[in-house]
Structure formats: structure tokens, C-alpha cells
Structure 1
Amino acid sequence: MPDDPSLPSPDAPTRWHQPPVQALLLGALGLVTAAAMVGWGVIGLAGGALVLAGGVVGAVLARRRVSDGVAVLLAEQLTLLGQARATQPGDAPGRAVTAVLQPVAAALHTLAARQQALFDAQAEQLEALRQQAHSDPLTGLANRRHFTAMLDALLCNGDEPVEAGLLLLRVRDLQGMNQRIGHAGADRVLQALGQALHAYPDRIARCCAGRLNGADFALLLPVGGMAFETAATLVQALRLPVAGIDALAAVDAGVVELSLPMNGTQALALADAALARAEADGGTPAVTPELDLPLIDDALPQGEASWQRRIARALVKGQVALAAYPVRTGDGRQLHLDCPLRVQLQTNGSLEPAARWLALATRSRLCAAVDEKAVALALEAIARDGQARCVNVAGQSLESVEFIAAVSRRLEAAPHAACRLWIDLPEALALERPMLVREVSRRWRPLGVMLGLEHAGEALARIPRLIDLGLDCVRIDRRFVNGIASADAGDARRYLQGLVKLVQAVGLQVTAEGVRSVDDLDVLWRLGFDAATGPALVAEMALTA
């Protein structure tokens, strides 16, 4: 990758990790003063307690990486409380303490307001940069790079369902249309198609629509069996709108159902072959023939009821296990192990990744049982070997009060292991139900657990008051980090750099998920990521060994 002036030097200091030293010093001064004041009577105790609060707040401010000036202001105000000692006659002590507390409270409110205003401004800028890096300017859909990254993430991610449908749509004879009605008219046709595609990701989770080039559009459906019907509906719905702009305009569609893992290039090639058949047949949506499709494994259960019984039986019989993938820092330290759950669906069969059963577990309302089992296994493993571990919890599970209470009981029963447990929550949950995330944090973090947001990046800048959710880490999804070293990824690098700064500025760690390339990993370290996971870590360690 050519040198990018937007990237920091590998040796440049990372100021996001430098605590406000003044706040620490003033906090320490407050602690010492408090100790000296303990013997000075009741008022001295009150003053000492308040100055002790100054020390604590100073330390907290240092951890949260608040700006030095505001941190010093607050720490100084709290330290001044030590002057309200037993020198006041009568009932003056209470009034003196209250009088000093008032400017302190005002300083706290000012600090919170400034910090939130700064975060909001940075988040707004970051969202604009995300749109620039990942969107087609004419239609607002994902651009080719971002769409293919999302396609790869869905098809190659062992923690997500792999059954999917892929539609490839093409505006027929775009060059001739430009000659007939001009570029502005052709743009209106393209925008009409873009507007129709926008409705799908707006309503369906993990659905993605993109513009691949001038005339080609794509729609990724995260469920199987719906692609042909969707293509036929789209082609029919677009006939009148595009004909109203250009009587000769038409849209062709090719469809492929994806049922086994493959990469995005292979999936697009299958869809392109189907699109070629549709164009040859005069516009009727075409499906890739069955011989071209991956075969379904008949050895696995096919009916929903059968899946539900097998998953439930595996949980009861203990036919489950945690995988283990290291999460490491730039200097090679292991932070913890990522531990997705594997389930044995057949007697004497192999342990299957979530890609084979997660969708059915969700529809069968089994997520809470699955996630509680994963937490239990992680705590047992930590107790055995002392290695920190991370498990992920579904939003469906957290909707259950019983699940939150059950996990709390397990954490209370294993306090030493709980202090080395990480639990990842979905980014969508923080966006849609931030108060639920705060409640989970209030219940679990005092028991030692560290909380993160997984598969993040798409909506991070839009999460309400991310600063107040009680999180420890944000894990950036693989679709934002893979390919980041390529020459055409300048906008994407600038977006990631802004995202890292935004998250670290509120005291959270930033981890990259599923990094495949050593070149990408090198760029991520230079952008300031705290940790990463993925095949590139193994390759990097081999190179430096």
C-alpha cells in the first residue's frame, strides 16, 4: 500500500491513551489531604470525604481521557472542599460545605455537557465520513467496495447464518438511455431503482443493497428461499416508474440462493451468470440452476421442529463446547479468547458453528438457553486455567428478565472467574434499546464482567449517549477492516481513524474483528486499534518470530 499521509507514523505517540496527569496529581493531593483531615472532627470528616471524592473523580477522569483543562478545573474545585474544616462556628459547617458544593455541582454539569457536546459533534462528523466512504453518492446505497465487504462478512462469518439470497439487477442499455434522455434523465432512472432497493435494508436486519457500477445493483437477503420472489416483485414494481422516465427503459434480474459457505466473488459470479440468462430470455428473472448451487447437507435436520429438538437436546446433554480464538494487542499480548459456542446436532457428529443453527435457535426462542450455557462454560474454563474469555449474547436473550437474573446468579457464584469474563452485546441493541444496555451494565459490571459491542461500525455514531452505556470495548466488524490497506480505501481509512478517536476519547478500547491480511493489520495498528482478532494475527506472529 502506498504511504497515506492521513495515517500516523508507526512510531507516533498515541495521545488518546495519555491520561490527564494534572487530574491524577490533584486527585492524589486530595487523597493525602483527606487522610490528614480525618482527625479534625465531623466537619473534617465531611471535608475529607469530599476531597476523597476529588481524588476518585480525578482518577476516573484520567481513565475516561477527558481533556486536561476540564479535568483540572473539576479536580481543583473538589480539592478546595478541604478548606471547609472545623474552623466554622455553630451550624456554619453545613452551610460552608453546601456553599462549596454548589460550584462543584455546576462544574460537574458543565463537564458532562461539554463532553457530550464534543462527542455529538464528533459523531456527526464521523457519520458524514461513513456516508462518504461507504455510499454511492447518486443513490445513497452501499458502494461496490462496501457491498462486497458485507457480502463476504455474511458468507464467511462462522457466527452468522450462511443461508442467503443474492439478487443482481441491471438497467438495460444504460449507454443508449443516456443518448435518448440525457444523463440527468438516466440518473433519475438509477435513483428510482436505488429508492426501491433502499426499502429492504431499512426493514430487514443484515440486508444490504448496493450499486456495483454504473448500471449494476445488488441486493443481499440474509434468509434463504426468498430471492426469486423478491426479484420478480422488484422487476414488476419498477416497470411503471422507469417507463415514465424512458419508455424503453427496463431492469433485468439474476438470482442465486446461497446455502453453503463461499466468498463474495464466487457468489457474485453465480448471480452474474443468472443475470446473463435473464437478459438472454428477454427480462424474466432467472435463478442459477440447481447444478450450479451448493448442495444441501441431507444429514442435518431440515424441519424447524427437528432443529429445535436437536438444539434443546444438545444443551441438556452437554453436547456443546466453546471454540477459542485469541484477541491480541499490537505488542502481542493476549487480552482474552473469543469463544463462540459450537453445538453437536447429531449423535457422534461434529460440533457445528452457529452458522448451521443460529437462525433456527432464534426463531425457536432458544437464544437465552444457548447464551446461558455459553456463559456457564466460559466461567468453568476460566476457573480451570485462568485465561480471560469472551462470549457473545443475543439481543433476544437480553429481552428476558429471567436470563439477566440467571447470568447474574452465575457471576455471583464465581466472582474470581467473573472478573476475567467479557460479554459482547449486539451493536443494534445499543442503537435500538440503549436503556436495556445500561441496565445490563448496571447489573453485571459490578460483578466484574467487562462489556463490549460486537460487529460494530455501521451505527456506532448514531447510538444515543454511547458515553453513558457502561461499556468497556467496541469491536469493529470485519467488513470495515478487511481491505483497509488497499490503494482505493483512503476514505475508509479516514472513517476508521475518526471512529477510533471517537471511541477511545470516551475511554473505550477498540478491537478489529476477523482481520485476514497482515497488510490490513499493520494499517489498523497505525490507526490506533487497541487489539485485533483473525487469521492475520497468526501470520503476523510467524513473521516476527
Structure 2
Amino acid sequence: MSLIKQLWLAIIVILLIALGGSLLVAVTGSRAYIEQELEIKNTDNANVLAQAISNAPNQDLVGIELMISAQFDTGYYRKLQLVDGEGRPIIQRVSEVAEDHSVPGWFRQLISFDVPSGTAAVQDGWTLLGTLEVDSTHAFAYQSLWQSTLRMAGWFVAAGALSLLIAYMLVRHISRPLKTVTRQAHDIGERRFTIAPLPRTLELREVSEAMNRLSESVREMLERESEQIDRLRRQLLHDAITGALTRDAFIDRLSYSLEQDGESSYGIIALIRATDLAALNERRGHLHTNAVLSDLCQRLTAIADAHGEGYVGRLNGSDFALLLCGNVDEAWARERLSDNLSALAEQNSPVLRLPAALGTYHHGQSRTTLMSALDGALSMAETRPGQAIETCRHAEQAALYHSRAEWRSALVEAMEHGVLLGQYPVLDRQGSLLHHEAPARLNIKGEWRQAGTFMPWIARLRLHDSLDIRVIDTALETIHHHRQPLGINLSHAAITQPNVVIALQQRLSARPDSAPFLWIEVPESIARADLESFRYLCQSLAPFGCHLGMEHVGAAFRQLGDLRDLGLSYIKIDATLCRGVSHRPEQQTILRGMATLCHSLAIKAIAEGIDEDEDIETLFELGLDGVTGPAVSARADVASGR
């Protein structure tokens, strides 16, 4: 609700309270006064009539009845009766005249006079003949109070209309500069810290200046917090000399890639060994050796950045690893690796050699087996002369087809027959479902294959847009029938193609009721490598109410402040930061800071790749909003009785 509407609402509420309260006080005060007057009248009339009867010379029942009837016939009484000592009526007169219909029945029920009867003793000398009870009619009181209420209500309506007219003129006068302030307030509420021009109105100018200072200070605070968190993350997960991931962090990243069912579940991995570091250190010094290792890490990082989603790790003093996730041309990776290693080795010849082993990995592969095969290939490369790169054949996955034409035909046919979406739960701290992660699977050769099997060929044949549209259609159809939130991944290439975004807009427009159940996420490498395409995606889908997020967030967390205006709903923090958190206090500090910063930007923080049940409670204690991973799936299965 806009500030102008809130101001109008406040004015109307205040007027209603003031005028309605005044009317209520006036009516209740009049009612109490009339009740008091009626009570006095009943008492006075009872005493006068009782005195008249007591002084009458003829005090037989006929005479008394005539006096009571004469008084009752004046029309001012509802009931006159003479009762004996035990309360039994001796003489009774009750009015049968209908009430005046000029007063509404609801008003009578609302007011409902409660006036006690007037009583007086009737005596014959010292003998008590009975007790006279007098109830005056309330018709005149109701009519008088109703007319008085109408007059007061009319005056209050006129006063309210005049007040609203004055308020309208006032609001109209200040609405223009106020809109600027309300827009800025709205931006701050949406975690967009803009600087607004200053209005001319003095009071609003002061407010705008204060909000500008607030916006700027919050922006600076978020930048400082994100920089501090990034610095702690690098201290914890990265080697101090080279900047590469530590062994534990890299192994966690590799394990998560082998476990997950998505586009990062396949790719290329390489091991590189810097030989004779002791001789290099002795000949050229410690600082030069560190510079060589840092140069090696920078070259490997450049290869990872050129690919998009990649990681560099230092496994020990001399061994480095390069992980390239998703579709990678092996010839390209070998060429880039060979060029960089050869150049660095030549600069430090003949002391330094950089043998390497190169292989592929895929979902479900044993990490131990993979690393053993790579280590064996690396040992063979060490025995070869020159700058050798040995291919690890053991790490390769058996091919289903052997030509591009066969793969294209199989993939097109599989997509025509439909896409199957997996379901891996993402739970909040109450154990409720946030959404299901839904990686795509295709039926190839009679079996539902996971993404690691067909995604390399989807990329080589440039079928990303077709697959993404099929995934979107299947997700919306599933949501329409089951009304459960689903999270889908869009491919790297498809996000840069407007036809996929347009197709997504058309489908969300056709099913607006399903849009709030759709969670769309992309890897953080999109935000780093192609921010404008990601911005276009977020802006295009913002009107539909679906959830947009980033997965594998680690290094890009420092850029989160730059993305606050995109309307991100959530991020999924990389498994290298989340795994084993219950045993790592330093990691807990980083995650607590990340969760706090996310909440300040109205973004949910979700931990991914959780494989230990005890980590789940720790993550929620640190302030995270959701968890996903093998341990979470197992907990969900137990809760559902499967």
C-alpha cells in the first residue's frame, strides 16, 4: 500500500474514531440520562398514586381499581399493578398498545432501556393493603433519543465531509514531493538502496536526506560485511600461498559433483604435479618457489574462468587439481592445459617439470576410484620425457552411441517422448517442504538416464533450448496437477538465448496460478560471467511471481550486493562451505554471516550437498532457511514412511 493511501486511511480512521466515539458518547450519555429520568418518574408517580389511594375515603377493591384504571388510561404507562405481600397481583393493568414504528427495531434492541419499576406502599391507616408498582412507557423516550441521534449523526457526517475535503486539498498539495519519498521507502523495503532527489518541502526534505543517509550507510555496511565474509571464506577454504582451494574443500566439491544429479555432475578433472620443488627452492629461493606455485594456480584459474564453472585445488605441497564442471571439449582443455604448463615449465627449466593427468568424471562414480586412476596416470606422466599429459582412460564412461547423428536422433526422440523430473526435497527448519529440486532425465535406450549421461551431447549438438523448454513444460504440468513447488535448472547457454526466456514468459502467462510454485535457479557462474543475461532473465520473470535463485554460491557471494536489485528469492550455498559444518567452528562463523547478510537483502539462504544428519540442525542454528542433500532426502523418506 502506498504512503498516500496509508495517509488517507489514517485520516478516515481518525475521523471515524473521533466522530463515531463522539456519537457513541452522546447517545450513551443521553440513554443514561433518560433512564434516570424514567426511574424518577416511575417512583414519583407510584408515590403520588399510592398516596391518593391511601387517602381515598372509599378503599374497597372496586374503588382502588377505578383509580388505577383512571391513571393507566392516561397512556403514559406500560404497566400498573397492585400486589399483595407475597407478590401476587391484586389489580393489574398492562398496555396492549403497539410500539411506535417510527423508531427502528434495531435501535430499540441496541438501546434497550433498563428502568426499574417505581414502587410505593398502599395503606388503610396502619394496615398495608399492598404494594403499587408503576412502569412508564418507553415509546416517547425511544422516539426522543432516536431523533436526537439522527440530528447528531447528520452533524457528524457534515463535519466528516468537511474534514475530508480539507484533507484532500492538503494531500493533493503534498502528494508530488511525497511520491518521491514513498518511492525511495519502497526501494529500501525491497532492499534497493537508491539515492533520491531532495524535495522542496522542508519536512519531507529532512526525511529524504535521512533516508539517503540510511541508504548509503546500509549499502556500505553490506559491502563491508560481504567483503569480510569473503575474506574469511578465502582464509578457510583457500591456500594462503596460491589462492587455490584447500584439499578438504576441493574434495568436498568433487564429492558433491559426483553425487548430484545435474549439469555439474559430469566434466573433466586434471591433476598437475610440480616436481623438484626442493631443488627449485634451493636454487632460486623460497620466495621464487612460492611465486611459481602462485603463477601455476593463476594459470589454472584462468582456464576454469574461461570455461565458466571450474575449481582449482591444492591437494598437497606439489599437487594441484583442476575441475571443469559441465560440458567441456577435452581437446580444448588439453590444449589450454598443455600451453600453460609448458610456458611455466620453460620459464623455470630445467629444474621444474609439470606432468599432468587428464580424465572425465560422471555422476555416481566413486571418488576414491577416480582419484586413484588419476594418480596412476599422473605417475605414468612423470616417467615420460618432456611436458607430458597422460589421459586417464579408467575415468571415462562407456558411450551409448558413437556418432553425432546417432546421438542427435536419440536425444530428439527422447525429448519428444517427454522429460522425467527427479525430486530431491529442500526442507526448512520446521521440516516443511520449500521445493523439490527437479533435475531432468531422458529415456535413452529404454532407461531413464541422468544429466551426466546426455548433457555433454546436448551441449555439443546445441539442443539446450529444446531441453529447457521441455523441462519448463513438464515442470508446469506437474505443478498444475500436484500443486507442489518444483525447482528447475536452466542451462548456461539457454539463459543467453532470448527464445527460451520468451517461451518461459508465454508459459507462465498461460498458467499464472502455477508460477508461484516454480523455483528457477542458475549456477553462480552465470552471475559472474554474464551478469546482463542474468539481469534480463530476472527482470523478464519478475511480474509472474516465480522464485529466482542461484546455486553453488561461494566465490560470487561478494557480488551479492550488486544483485540486490534483481529480485533474487534465494541462494544455495556451495557444498564446500556447508559440509561438515558441525565440526568446523570457522565454517560456522562464515555461514552465520552469510545467512545474516542474505536476510538483510530479503534472500533465503539454503545449504546444498548436506550428507551428514548432524549438520542439518547446526545449519538451522546458524540461521539458514533451508537444506538439501543426501541426508535431507533420507530424513524426508523416513518422515514419509518410505
Distance 1:32 1:53, change over 3 A: farther
Alignment counterpart, residue 154 of structure 1, candidates 254, 257, 262: 257
Residue 237 of structure 1 is matched in structure 2 by 343
Structure 1 residue 483: Cα displacement: 3.0
> Aligned ranges for residues 98-497 of structure 1 at < 5 Å?
100-160=203-263, 162-222=265-325, 223=328, 225-226=330-331, 229=335, 232-243=338-349, 247-258=350-361, 261-281=364-384, 285=388, 287=390, 290=393, 292-297=394-399, 300-318=400-418, 320-346=419-445, 349-463=446-560, 465-486=562-583, 489-497=584-592
Report the TM-score, using the length of structure 1 for normalisation: 0.77
Separation (CA, whole Å) in 1 of partners of 2:519 and 2:637: 27
Separation (CA, whole Å) in 2 of partners of 1:333 and 1:415: 24
Distance 1:114 1:279, change over 3 A: same
Structure 1 residue 506: Cα displacement: 0.9
Structure 1 residue 62: Cα displacement: 7.1
Structure 1 runs not aligned, ≥5 long:
1-26, 67-73, 75-94
* Equivalent residues of 1:207, 1:220 under 8 A apart: yes
CA deviation map 1:250-294 (0-9, x unaligned): 33333334356424333222121122223344566363664x444
- Using the aligned pairs only, state the percent identity: 28
Report the TM-score, using the length of structure 2 for normalisation: 0.66
* Equivalent residues of 1:391, 1:424 under 8 A apart: yes
Separation (CA, whole Å) in 2 of partners of 1:263 and 1:334: 30
Structure 1 residue 511: Cα displacement: 0.9
Alignment counterpart, residue 528 of structure 1, candidates 623, 628, 636: 623
Separation (CA, whole Å) in 1 of partners of 2:275 and 2:441: 46
* Equivalent residues of 2:308, 2:529 under 8 A apart: no
SS of 2:313's partner is strand
Distance 1:178 1:100, change over 3 A: closer
Separation (CA, whole Å) in 1 of partners of 2:342 and 2:598: 45
Structure 1 residue 31: Cα displacement: 4.7
Structure 1 residue 329: Cα displacement: 0.8
Residue identity matched to 1:514: G
* Equivalent residues of 1:253, 1:278 under 8 A apart: yes
Structure 1 residue 165: Cα displacement: 3.2
Residue identity matched to 1:43: M
Separation (CA, whole Å) in 1 of partners of 2:441 and 2:390: 33
* Equivalent residues of 1:168, 1:275 under 8 A apart: yes
Structure 1 residue 473: Cα displacement: 0.9
Structure 1 residue 59: Cα displacement: 9.2
Per chain length, whose mean CA-contact separation is higher, i.e. which structure has more relative contact order (CA < 8 Å, sep 6+)? 1
CA deviation map 1:331-367 (0-9, x unaligned): 2111222222222233xx1222222222332343332
Separation (CA, whole Å) in 1 of partners of 2:625 and 2:192: 15
Separation (CA, whole Å) in 2 of partners of 1:305 and 1:116: 53
* Equivalent residues of 1:427, 1:454 under 8 A apart: yes
Residue 88 of structure 1 is matched in structure 2 by none
Compute the RMSD of aligned alpha carbons: 3.8
Structure 1 residue 404: Cα displacement: 2.3
Count residues with an aligned counterpart: 486
Separation (CA, whole Å) in 2 of partners of 1:439 and 1:295: 37
* Equivalent residues of 1:511, 1:532 under 8 A apart: yes
- Return the index of the structure with the highest Cα Rg: 2
Structure 2 runs not aligned, ≥5 long:
16-159
Distance 1:259 1:431, change over 3 A: closer
Residue identity matched to 2:236: A
Residue identity matched to 1:399: T
CA deviation map 1:392-443 (0-9, x unaligned): 2234333333332322222222222222222223323333444544443343
> Aligned ranges for residues 43-62 of structure 1 at < 5 Å?
43=169, 46=172
* Equivalent residues of 2:353, 2:387 under 8 A apart: no
